[in-house]
């Protein structure tokens, strides 16, 4: 067996990966807009995190509201009433009700269901507006990065979690210098 191991020579004899890429560019060798570039990167990363949190909150609120809709249907509220309170179309309310087939009557009053649905729908609407504001700020940061040439499409895509094609399509109307 020692002959097998002796036949491997060089840095990869251990079987580990050896990085052979270029050395990273020193901070001093970068373009003069490094501070602006760093600020944009930090802002885009923060907005990506905020957007992720907002989307998660919307998902949780939607699930809770959908369960409330199904329970209200099980307790005898009409599709039209629930649709009016939640601002969902009647087809969506019916579909939500059908998704929860194993519910039992809760015994809550009609007014209790309506108040809970109103409150949860308002919370959901507020969360969606918040996510919209975050997306608007992200689009403004993307536009600023492209105008100042701090980042290119590929780098912006990686920082925002969007595809490069989405970045290009969303920023076609933005004037790029040069």
Q: Is pLDDT of 85 > 90?
A: yes
137, pLDDT greater than 70: yes
Percentage above 70 pLDDT, the chain: 78
Q: What is the mean pLDDT of residues 149-160?
A: 84
Arithmetic mean of pLDDT, 140-147: 87
pLDDT, tens digit (0-9, with 9 covering 90-100), for 109-118:
999 999 999 9
Distance CA 56, CA 62 (A): 10
At residue 176, the pLDDT reads 58
* Tens-digit pLDDT profile for residues 32-49: 445 777 888 889 989 999
Q: Which of 35, 58, 39 is nearest to 47 (CA)?
A: 39
pLDDT above 60 (res 10): no
* 150-152-156 Cα angle (round to 5): 90
């Amino acid at each position: 067996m020692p002959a097998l191991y002796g036949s491997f020579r060089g840095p990869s004899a251990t079987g580990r990966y050896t990085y052979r890429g270029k050395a990273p560019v020193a901070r001093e060798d970068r373009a003069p807009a490094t501070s602006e570039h760093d600020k944009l990167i930090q802002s885009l990363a923060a907005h990506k995190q905020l957007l992720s949190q907002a989307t998660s909150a919307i998902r949780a609120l939607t699930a809770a509201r959908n369960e409330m809709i199904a329970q209200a249907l099980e307790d005898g509220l009409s599709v039209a009433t629930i649709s009016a309170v939640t601002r969902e179309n009647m087809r969506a309310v019916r579909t939500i009700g059908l998704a929860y087939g194993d519910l039992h009557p809760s015994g809550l009053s009609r007014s209790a269901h309506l108040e809970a649905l109103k409150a949860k729908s308002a919370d959901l609407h507020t969360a969606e507006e918040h996510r919209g504001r975050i997306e608007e700020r992200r689009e403004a940061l993307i536009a600023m990065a492209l105008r100042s040439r701090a980042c290119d499409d590929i780098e912006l895509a990686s920082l925002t979690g969007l595809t490069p094609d989405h970045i290009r399509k969303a920023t076609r109307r933005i004037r790029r210098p040069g």
